[in-house]
Structure 1
Amino acid sequence: MPAKRELTMRQIRYTLRLASEGISARQIGRMLGVARSTIQDNLKRAQVAGLTWPLPADLTDAVLEERLFARNGAPRGVRRHAEPVWRELVCELKRPGVNLMVLWEEYRAGHPEGYSYSRFCDLFREFEARLSPVMRQEHRAGDKVFVDYSGKKLGITDPATGEVRFAEIFVAVLGASSFTYCEASWSQTLPDWIGAHVRMFRALGGVPRLVVPDNLKSGVNKASFYDPEINLSYGRMAAHYGIGILPARPRRPKDKAKVEAGVRFAQSYILGRLRAQKFFSLAEANQAIAGMVARINDHIMRRLGVSRRHLFETIERPALAVLPDTDYEFAEWGFARVSLDYHVEVCGYFYSVPHNLIRAQVDTRATARMIEVFFQGNRVAAHERRYGGARHGTDPAHMPSAHRRYAEWTPERFRRWGASVGPNTEGLVTAILASRPHPEQGFRTCLGVLRLFRELDKTRAEAVSARAVAYGAFTYKSIASIIANKLDRAAITTSEPQAVMTHGNLRGSKYFH
């Protein structure tokens, strides 16, 4: 780039005319408002170029400038010193700890007569300005990955019904290498959003320092310029991988220019090339998308002369953090308040927590298999997730002692107790439970009988049970009366009862024939 001129071509022509008339450089400088040295420099340049007044009529300002300010006779646009390969420097600058000072020192080590640091920086910025706006952003290796949905959907046909269902396209672009990852998922909901991140990290073989999403509701509950509110489940996923979430500022598309460019590239490179294909499953579509993404990453970038995959393998991958031992298992986190029956509702079912947490607010974590409840960061309950059957899942350890004792009463338990005494007692228990409209209504009677039989040996308890069954005595009071009056010792008569007396007024059975 030519140096800034202190005199215009018109003023230089005026200077040459005045000098031809014998006016000194000092006087010309006063007339034009510049230093005498500036006038002398321009007159010397004219003398070297062989220019005298009057100038040729066809000499244009452009030609005049070229002849006066040519670089020691070198053609215009030719550098005076050896230059580095700027595109290689762009790649090197993405490595951790590398800056322009480091690159300039290496350049001067190989070219001692090369450019000064300031000129080196100017030339580098000139080259960088010719790159695309996305490439002009400075991203360190392993620092950021930009994620978003493309907005354009891919149709997938149901082979049974022929119905076309549209899938979303998830796009992720690494900052330093522009290495791209894409996949199709059915929706932008939280399970698909987090699942796409897990599969992306697995494909990259590591994790960057930051994830930069758009303000999608699945990831950001409340967008804010100063303090965005991250979705709790999304935040737990980030904590599992040890990464930070840095949402793009609202209405600031330049914050995620990387992924915006990646989205446009994906739309033309993937959707455009796959528009004629018909897919019958999500897996089939993702297999085709993977092939297109491989072509994107292997494509040689015109300005840099290398592919995204080359940059990723040589610069980005070594800078990524190590993946944890296990993939993150998606869990939907939420808040709940413990009701008076010491249960919380999660996904339409109720799960118990310790009864001393009644009315407390707790965190819930729902996975495909488990429901966990946390209070002040500590897990207080864990249940197998319910998808059908009874709506309440109750752990007896969570109950108050009175509730726990009642919950342990079951018909089977009372029958087992009766059988432990003898067959007659088992029969009595069965008869008591059967004599009630609902078996639970006989639990208290069975408990009373249990208390009465504690003071009896098994032989007498069996006799009492036999007497009670024979006479249909299925209440606590009647069984207590049999024991108190020692009726169990009397013989049990099974014949039909006889008339207590004979009288002339009593009619026999023959009267009715």
Structure 2
Amino acid sequence: MTPYREILRLYSQGISQRNIALSCACSRNTVSKIIQRAGELGIVWPLEKDLTDGELRQRLFAEAAQAPTRKHPDYAYIHKEMAKSGVTLSLLWNEYCENCRASQEIPLMYSQFCHHYQQYTMKSNATMRIHRKPGEQLEVDWAGQTASTIDRETGEIMTMYVFVGVLAYSQYVYVEAFASQDQESWITAHIHMYQFFGGSTRVLIPDNLKTGVEKASGHSPVINKIYHEMAEHYNTAVIPARVRKPKDKPNVEGAVGVASTWILAAIRKQQCFSVAELNLAIREKLDALNAKSFQKKEGSRHSVFMTEEKPFLLSLPATPYELATWKIATVQFNYHISVEKMHYSIPYEYIKHRVDVRMTRGVIEVFYQNHRVCSHPRLHGKPGQYSTVEDHMPENHKKFIQWNANRFISWAQSVGTHTAASVQAILNSHKVEQQGYRSCMALLKLADKHGVIRLEAACARALSYTPRPSFQSIKTILTTGQDRLEAQPETQEPSSPSESHGFIRGADYYGRG
């Protein structure tokens, strides 16, 4: 504020206006205007001892202090209404404008309305205290203080990280320890927290850690994809706190300190040999903390939560969120992708395209440009397994895959007994049955080319040569036309031993003489 009294005092001592401006840190024009105005009104130094700069300004520039022409709202009423669910400053400003029009008065602009309301809320405190609405906001963070467990075999002390979540309205706290601060622990902590509260809030406020926020920004932060999926599952909105702005999540900052004192410090002498044992000890102290009475108001965290906040929580979905991880894969020429050393088919139209793969414990989902392409039950066990859907294959591959041993044998029996015997012999001639499928498919093509009658005759001719004919021998018979030759008549049995044995030497040949 301009030091009016000091300006008049220095001027009465004969100091120049330039030096007065330098001494009072104001412009020479301001000094000149005040001195000129005081001369016009006959105000000279010394002044009354109780006269303040504000009162002196009123005397010097009374005509400038005109009464405001715009009507101010009842800020006490505005502050009371803001505590109700669903009420916003924009709604209250619209109602205020309607009242001003009805009374033919000029309302404040929205920016001035918000500014004066903020000034009203800051009258009693240096920082504005925002009264949260029940079921509206949940704040989460990792505690700075850690816990520990002991390895039974080696005696090594293992560091455990503590997750803290708190409901902003009732200050109801949830605490759980984890072996790491990775993505799986972060998501699992939220799932257990929602189950503990029995519902979710409309807003979730985390810190800017990488497991929750990929890119921190004051205007449009980029939420981690898995974290965003979890928020959608529980019908909540993730609004990260600003970087280096702990006042954006003051409740969890305070809850971290309370949990460090009343839970972690309280169990510091207990020896826990597993995470489950540690969390059991934490839960006992947590229940006692939530049931502890407030110091400056009635009730406890648990009582306020049960009576005032729990009815306003959003209902949980039928099933808890299942943790999913994402991976980028390229569709190979065999229209499969490789995920964790397992192979899953994709429609062949996406060969050599990059796709997004969402993996859960039981399902593999494939997305291309945010559109789901297909899904498979997740394979477990021995690496190298294939999950192939017939609809993902090209037409010529479908024709091949539809044939199996039973179908080949059934087709051969419809042609004839010799063809069936030949097909069975071809399938049995390989260690792996599938190795004979190509030969059987080739027989089908021979039947299309030469007809089933000639194929049956060729198989009969091949079986007369060997009990295990091959595809090549049957093809040769058809190509050379041997199947069309008549079978030679069977010869009659010889009537005498000499005829049956050919030329026989007589007794005279062996005689001695």
Under TM normalisation by the shorter chain, which class is it? 0.5 to 0.7
Correspondent of 2:440 among 442, 446, 460: 446
SS in 2 for 1:485: helix
Which residue does the alignment assign to 1:112? Answer: none
CA distance in structure 2 between the partners assigned to 1:171 and 1:209 by the alignment: 18
CA distance in structure 2 between the partners assigned to 1:492 and 1:299 by the alignment: 110
Q: How does 1:350-365 map to 2 (within 5 A)?
A: 350-365=343-358
Per-residue CA deviations over 1:96-134 (Å, capped at 9, x if unaligned) read 3689xx9xxxxxxxxxxxxxxxxxx999978877xxx8x
CA distance in structure 2 between the partners assigned to 1:330 and 1:433 by the alignment: 47
Q: What is the Cα deviation at residue 452 of structure 1?
A: 3.6
Which residue does the alignment assign to 2:363? Answer: 370
CA distance in structure 1 between the partners assigned to 2:489 and 2:471 by the alignment: 19
Q: Confirm whether residue 486 of structure 1 aligns to residue 479 of structure 2.
A: no
Check conservation: 1:411, 1:439, Cα contact below 8 A. Answer: yes
Which residue does the alignment assign to 1:398? Answer: 392
Tell me: CA distance 1:314–1:157, structure 2 relative to 1, closer, same or farther (3 Å): same
Tell me: CA distance 1:223–1:34, structure 2 relative to 1, closer, same or farther (3 Å): closer
Check conservation: 1:94, 1:315, Cα contact below 8 A. Answer: no
Tell me: CA distance 1:409–1:319, structure 2 relative to 1, closer, same or farther (3 Å): same
CA distance in structure 2 between the partners assigned to 1:479 and 1:29 by the alignment: 136
Q: What is the Cα deviation at residue 185 of structure 1?
A: 2.6
Which residue does the alignment assign to 1:96? Answer: 85
CA distance in structure 1 between the partners assigned to 2:462 and 2:148 by the alignment: 74
Tell me: CA distance 1:414–1:168, structure 2 relative to 1, closer, same or farther (3 Å): farther
Q: How does 1:316-395 map to 2 (within 5 A)?
A: 316-389=309-382, 390-395=384-389
| Greater Cα offset, 201-210 or 181-190 | 181-190
Per-residue CA deviations over 1:309-356 (Å, capped at 9, x if unaligned) read 222223322222222232222222344443443333433433221111
CA distance in structure 2 between the partners assigned to 1:156 and 1:450 by the alignment: 69
Tell me: CA distance 1:208–1:431, structure 2 relative to 1, closer, same or farther (3 Å): same
Aligned residue pair count: 402
Q: What is the Cα deviation at residue 449 of structure 1?
A: 2.0
Tell me: CA distance 1:292–1:463, structure 2 relative to 1, closer, same or farther (3 Å): same
Q: How does 1:83-482 map to 2 (within 5 A)?
A: 96=85, 136-159=129-152, 162=155, 164-389=157-382, 390-408=384-402, 414=408, 417-418=411-412, 425-433=419-427, 442-453=436-447, 455-456=452-453, 463-464=460-461, 466-467=463-464, 469-470=466-467, 472-475=469-472, 476-481=474-479
| Greater Cα offset, 348-357 or 265-274 | 348-357
Aligned identity (percent) is 36
Tell me: CA distance 1:464–1:192, structure 2 relative to 1, closer, same or farther (3 Å): farther
Name the TM-score, length of structure 1 as normaliser.
0.65
Q: What code does the residue aligned with 2:217 have?
A: S
Which residue does the alignment assign to 1:75? Answer: none
Q: What is the Cα deviation at residue 29 of structure 1?
A: 9.0
CA distance in structure 1 between the partners assigned to 2:453 and 2:159 by the alignment: 76
Which residue does the alignment assign to 1:32? Answer: 49
Segments of structure 2 that go 5 or more residues without pairing to the other structure are 6-42, 56-78, 93-117, 492-501, 504-513
CA distance in structure 2 between the partners assigned to 1:279 and 1:93 by the alignment: 47
Name the TM-score, length of structure 2 as normaliser.
0.65
Tell me: CA distance 1:237–1:477, structure 2 relative to 1, closer, same or farther (3 Å): same
Q: What is the Cα deviation at residue 391 of structure 1?
A: 4.3
SS in 1 for 2:258: helix
Tell me: CA distance 1:235–1:473, structure 2 relative to 1, closer, same or farther (3 Å): closer
| Greater Cα offset, 451-460 or 342-351 | 451-460
Q: What is the Cα deviation at residue 188 of structure 1?
A: 2.2
Q: What code does the residue aligned with 1:260 have?
A: E
Tell me: CA distance 1:169–1:463, structure 2 relative to 1, closer, same or farther (3 Å): same
Per-residue CA deviations over 1:484-504 (Å, capped at 9, x if unaligned) read 4336845899xxxxxxxx99x
Which residue does the alignment assign to 2:37? Answer: none
Q: What is the Cα deviation at residue 409 of structure 1?
A: 5.2
Q: What code does the residue aligned with 2:85 have?
A: P
Q: What is the Cα deviation at residue 451 of structure 1?
A: 3.6
Check conservation: 2:137, 2:205, Cα contact below 8 A. Answer: yes
SS in 2 for 1:276: coil
Q: What is the Cα deviation at residue 296 of structure 1?
A: 1.5
Q: What is the Cα deviation at residue 278 of structure 1?
A: 2.2
Check conservation: 2:463, 2:469, Cα contact below 8 A. Answer: no
Per-residue CA deviations over 1:356-408 (Å, capped at 9, x if unaligned) read 12344433221101101133554321111123332443222101112233344
CA distance in structure 2 between the partners assigned to 1:338 and 1:255 by the alignment: 45
CA distance in structure 2 between the partners assigned to 1:492 and 1:253 by the alignment: 106
Q: What code does the residue aligned with 1:149 have?
A: W
CA distance in structure 1 between the partners assigned to 2:335 and 2:253 by the alignment: 49
Check conservation: 1:335, 1:362, Cα contact below 8 A. Answer: yes
Check conservation: 1:467, 1:492, Cα contact below 8 A. Answer: no
Q: What is the Cα deviation at residue 240 of structure 1?
A: 1.5
Q: What code does the residue aligned with 1:338 have?
A: V
Segments of structure 1 that go 5 or more residues without pairing to the other structure are 1-6, 8-25, 39-89, 103-120, 494-501, 504-513
